Amino acid sequence: MRSIHRAVVTGGAGFIGSHMVDLLLAQGVDVRVIDNLSGGNESNLAHQSGNAHLRVDIRDIRALSADDPLFEDVDTVFHFAGIGDIVPSIEKPIDYIDVNLQGTVRVLECSRYSRVERVVYAASSSCYGLANVPTPETHRISPQYPYALSKHLGEQACLHWHHVYGLAVNSIRIFNAYGLRSRTTGAYGAVLGVFLRQKLAGAPFTVVGDGEQSRDFVYVTDVAEAFRAAATTDLVGQAWNVGASRPQTVNRLVELLGGESVHIPDRPGEPRCTWADTSAIARDLGWKPVVNFEDGVAKMVANIEMWRDAPLWDTASIAEATEGWFRYLSPGDAVPS
C-alpha cells in the first residue's frame, strides 16, 4: 500500500473535492487545490489552512511541461473538476465535452509529464443509464444525456492513458452523493439542495413523479474515503462503484425533512432506481459506507443555513429549466406544459 505525501485536488473548492481536501489535510498531506470557482466556492476552503489554493481552469494548465509548477513534486492527483449540473447538459453539450473530457486530458498529460504516481478520477454512475439493479461495474454502458456521456468519456481517457502511457489511474463511479457543501449554483440540480432551500422558504417540495423512485444516496465523507482507498491501493487501471447500496425513495426524503409537497412530471431518461453493487470495492479495497441515510440527512438539516442563498425552485421555474430536457429526451415530440 502506497502513501500520499503531496496531492493536487482539482475542483477542490467544490462539493466532494473540498471534503477530499479535509481528509487529506487531516492525514498530514501537503495539498494543492486547483479550482476556477465556476462551480466551487472559496467558502468551502475557508476553514482550512496549510494548503495552496490556485484559481486555475483545468483547460488552461500547461500540459506538456515536465516542470509545471502546479504539479511539481506531486505524487497523487484527485480529479474532481468538471461541470456537474445534469439538466443544462442537454442545451450545452459542447461545454460539457470541453470541460469534462478535454479538461481531463490536460490533467492526465500534466500528471504524465510530471511523473505523478497515481491519479484518481471522479466518474459518474450515470454512465449506466437505465440500468438493471443492483448495478455492477460490468453492466453495459448507456449514457442517456450529454453530462453522462462526457463523464464516461473522461473515464475512458483515464483508462486509455493507463493502457498506452502506463499512468497509474483508478476511477470511482459515484452514485448519488449528498452532504454538507453540496452545490447551490443557479442550475436546477440535486434533489437535496432543492428541497432544503424550499424547506427554508416554507415552500412545498417539488417531487418528480409519484416520489417512489429511489436513489442510492451515499454521504460525501464516505465518498472521500473511497477516493483515499483508491489512491493508496496497489491496484491500478480499475473502476469501482461507490454507493450506500441502500436505495431511498424521494418520498422517504420528504418524510425525513417534513413538509408539504407538489408533484411535477416524470423526466424521461432517468432511472426508476439507482443501486450500486459495491461488492468489488469492498473486496478490493475494504471500503464500505459508514454514514446511514437518516443520520446524513439530519446533518444537513442541522446545517440548513448553508442553503439560504441557493436558488428557490418552484413548479414554473423547474418547467422552464427542464423544457429542453423534455424536448430532446421524450418519446416523440411532445413537451409537457
What residues are annotated to the active site?
Answer: 147
The reported pLDDT for the residue numbered 164 is 98
Residues contacting 187, CB < 8 A, separation 6+? 85, 87, 88, 321
Note the CATH architecture for domain 6-178+218-242: 3-Layer(aba) Sandwich (3.40)
**What ranges do the domains of the chain cover?**
6-178+218-242, 191-215+246-274+292-329
How many angstroms separate the CA atoms of 24 and 229, rounded? 12
How many angstroms separate the CA atoms of 170 and 158, rounded? 8
Q: Cell numbers 506538456 correspond to what residue?
A: 64
The reported pLDDT for the residue numbered 178 is 97
280: exposed, middle or buried (C-beta count within 10 Å: 0-12, 13-18, 19+)?
middle
Contact 177, 125 (CB under 8 A): no
Strand-pair category, 248-249 with 214-215? antiparallel
Tens-of-pLDDT digits for all 337 residues of the chain?
899 999 999 999 999 999 999 999 999 999 999 998 876 666 676 666 555 567 778 888 765 455 567 888 999 999 999 999 899 999 999 999 999 999 999 999 999 999 999 999 999 999 999 999 999 999 999 999 999 999 999 999 999 999 999 999 999 999 999 999 997 777 888 899 999 999 999 999 999 999 999 999 999 999 999 999 999 999 999 999 999 999 999 999 999 999 999 999 999 989 999 999 999 999 999 999 999 999 999 999 999 999 999 999 999 999 999 999 999 998 754 444 3
Kindly provide the residue ranges of all beta strands, DSSP E only, lying in 68-148, ordered along the sequence.
Answer: 76-79, 118-124
The reported pLDDT for the residue numbered 209 is 96
The reported pLDDT for the residue numbered 58 is 85
How many angstroms separate the CA atoms of 144 and 122, rounded? 19
b/e string for 225-245 if b means 16 or more Cβ within 10 A? Answer: bbbbbbbebeeeebbbbbbbb
> DSSP letters along 155-200, please?
HHHHHHHHHHH---EEEEEE-EEE-TT----SS---HHHHHHHHHH
Domain 191-215+246-274+292-329: CATH superfamily is: UDP-galactose 4-epimerase, domain 1 (3.90.25.10)
Q: Quote helix, strand, coil % in the chain, to nearest 5.
A: 40, 15, 40
